[in-house]
Structure 1
Amino acid sequence: MKSKIILFIITVFQLQTNAQFLEDEKNKDITIKGLDFLYNQQFDQANEVLNSVKIAYPQHPVKFLLNAIELQWENVPIDKNPEVLKKYISELNKCILASKSIYNIPKYKKEATFFLLAAHGFIALSKNYQKEYFDAASEAKKAHNFFNEGKKYKNENPEFLFASGLYNFYRVQYPESHPMVKPIMMFFEDGNKKLGLQELENSFKKSIFSRTEAALYLVNINIKYESNFKKSLAYSNILNSKYPNNYIFKIKHIESLLLNNEYEEALKLNEQLKSRKDKVSQLSNLVFEAYAEEHTGKNLQSAFINYAKALKIPHDDRYTKEYHGMAYLGMARIFVKQKEITKAIAFYKECLKIAEYEWVINAAKTELKKIS
């Protein structure tokens, strides 16, 4: 019993002496360097750099959050790897426990709040991609418990703008996209999509740790919900330029180029995906090739074939689900041009079953109405 008490005292002491990571400029700079390696998929270099931070903060929530982020980027798409996903959630839960142990100590409350928001947010996102929408909402509710605390700090520390921006945007958007969770969401404080986007943009401009994640969310939000393709291209270009080895960022940049009718540059980058063996790259490559062929009118038959090949590759919800929706939409349009209306109707309906991109849904509904 005595040994357990001593261990507890040592653990608390370690947490308190190493608690204020956000005030440690040296280790913050090291972390940023490590994250840059990680985002550029230079995993060995990232691990070497970030290990020094973990050694300096052995019981601090930053260690467990970094462990989780490394697992996520080293195992794309992590949602398709149950064993690694379990480790990922475990590291996030360790981050939560470590944060809660210092949350009620006034001088560490801001720091703990930051990591609690991050860890609960990542778990909620993972549950969403596993189609566990009620669990995702429940996890978001846990994050909400710390949201009001985080709002106090967003003007003095721009790192809190990211969580605030995500909350304000998705508090409105999520129940619109998933009506089944509306009864749960009524217990949440109201959001504001316009404010949320502004906060994410300010997070990109002013924050350090959240800058890259904010840019990626702005790419996805502007494609998926806002149909603001020029803005998505601005952010995807920044990500692809800074992290040229990151094929996820490259995929989003190619998509943004295509949606802005920048076909030549898009196809040039798309060639780089052809040599990759992972399903995310293969599926994306086929859809992008087909989209360019369809919209330039150069080869509808080849476009049709590539769309069909893409649909034979299983999608994942995080990265390629919407490309199946785009493939169904493209094939439906080609059937219309070929006067095969029955097949076109069937493919428009398949598109609407899977698509969540607002521009895809609107196009499919409008075009289906014209031929029905």
Structure 2
Amino acid sequence: MIKRIWVLVWGIWLMLSSVQVFGQAGDPVYPPKNSDYLLLDKGLQYRITKSINSMYNFDFPTAERDFAVIMYQYPDHPLPDFLMALGYWWRIELDVTNTRYDDIFIQYLDRANEKAEEMFDENPKNKEAAFFLAAGYGFMGRLYSERKSWTKAAWAGRNALKYMDLSRGEAEFNPELLLGDALFNYFSVWIPENYPLLKPVMALFPKGNKQLGLQQLETVASNAFYTRVEAQYFLFRLYASEEKRPYDALRISEYLHSKFPNNPYFHRSYARHLYTVGRWTEAVEQSYEILNRIDNKQYGYESNSGRYAAFYVAEYHYRVGDRAEAKKYYLKTVAYGEESESQESGYYLHALIQLGKIETAAKNKAQAKKYFDRVKKYAKRNHPAHKEARDFIKKNKL
């Protein structure tokens, strides 16, 4: 329980501070001619637009060649190191249980933070330096919380919040900073609603407003230059889960997939939301495409995405009565789940249950019992899958 409380509390701090500095390509923001901030440089924004689009589309070699040029031109600025870190964050985002990129991600953020701190020491009123430090420490905190490094997450979260407050007051940055306000407004209400024990803790924070938070996220998603994609990312996740607005989640994920068609995270999210709203034909079409890309070893398409896609295909075939094809893709779901070490995931457990039912119908009770026993092994006793497995075994005398 203590660790859960830490996770939730730091969720607030980190949501407040996870200001992703760069987003989807769009019309560049034209800064005042006397602006000293590199982020507001018109020519650089044009170059960032191309590079960032490449990064979100998982063309990292192209993006990083551009980032290297910026690093050569601005060796003392945090921008290029932060851009490099951002590319590794999206590699991590595909499967947050994979620690392969943690070290290099933190190394680039450390370098970006060091350069931003030097800028800040030279001029404590430098809003751009504070902006980078808020973002850098925010991303560190997000990773450390995923890794259950609570002390490091706490330290990063406090720093992110401090520098976020210091970065306020520059008109050109306001649309970007609105993201932090939006996430705070939403989650400062959501956490005590879902975890009443944390109400005394949340009383220490300003009062939020969930609906205002959603409206602010929509504003950022429509109007911001730097933080647009990050806002869209949070929106479709909230609409899909907390807000029960699956068609809004589909609207956003469909747009992101069309804009960045080689981004596996957006691709599988699009397939998932098609499946959720019952657009089966399209969901299966996208799922087959994901599986084909995995078979063709397209970069970023791996077992985690395969687990989603294989499950949607299996469910479709099961519902139309094609048990042979359903079995084939449920087995693929299980295989991908084991490859990604996701045995406690809902798709993995449900695939085992469906396989058990298929084998029971085929009079292969011994094999069916093995599938249900695996459900009981990996699911917690209070999980619905565990109860379904127990009940099915008892009812069918397996």
* Structure 1 counterpart of 2:219: 202
* 2:174 aligned partner: 157
Match of 1:310 in 2: 333
What CA distance in whole angstroms lies between the structure 2 residues aligned with 1:92 and 1:33? 22
Aligned counterpart, 1:236: 253
Structure 2, unpaired ranges of 5+: 1-34
In structure 1, the partner of 2:9 is none
TM-score, length of structure 1 as denominator length: 0.75
| Mapped partners of 1:140, 1:292: distance in 2 | 43
1:285 corresponds to: 309
Listed one character per residue, the Cα deviations across residues 267-323 of structure 1 (whole Å, up to 9, x for unaligned) are: 1111112231522232222222233335x4434675466345424434799xx9699
Q: 1:26 to 1:53 in 2, by over 3 A?
A: same
Output the CA distance in 2 between the equivalents of 1:19 and 1:365: 60
The corresponding residue for 1:8 is: none
Q: 1:324 aligned to 2:345?
A: yes
Q: CA deviation at 1:196?
A: 2.4
Matches within 5 A, 1:12-31: 20-31=37-48
1:7 aligns with none
Map 1:1-372 onto structure 2 (within 5 A). Answer: 20-73=37-90, 77=94, 79-80=96-97, 82=99, 84-103=101-120, 105=123, 107-109=125-127, 111-132=128-149, 135-150=152-167, 152-153=169-170, 157-173=174-190, 187-275=204-292, 276=294, 277=297, 278-294=302-318, 296-299=319-322, 302-303=325-326, 306-307=329-330, 309-314=332-337, 324-329=345-350
Query: Which of the pair has the greater relative contact order for Cα pairs under 8 Å at 6+ separation?
Result: 2
- Residue 93 of structure 1: CA displacement? 2.3
Unaligned 5+ residue runs, structure 1? 1-17, 355-360
Task: Give CA deviations for 1:23-74 in whole Å, capped at 9, x if unaligned.
Answer: 2111122112100011112222212323332223212121221010122345
List per-residue Cα deviations over 1:93-152 (Å, max 9, x = no partner): 22223223333625522x123212211221222123324456435533332223434554
Distance 1:335 1:183 in 2: 46
How far did residue 86 of structure 1 move?
0.9
RMSD between aligned alpha carbons?
A: 4.2
Q: Please say which of residues 320-329 and 177-186 is displaced more in the overlay.
A: 177-186
Cα distance in 2 for partners of 1:154, 1:254 equals 38
Q: 1:182 to 1:128 in 2, by over 3 A?
A: farther
Structure 2 residue matching 1:159: 3-state secondary structure? helix
C-alpha displacement of 1:233: 0.5
Paired positions, count: 345
TM-score for both structures, normalised by structure 2: 0.70
Q: More helix by proportion, 1 or 2?
A: 1
CA–CA separation in structure 2 for the residues paired with 1:158 and 1:171 = 20
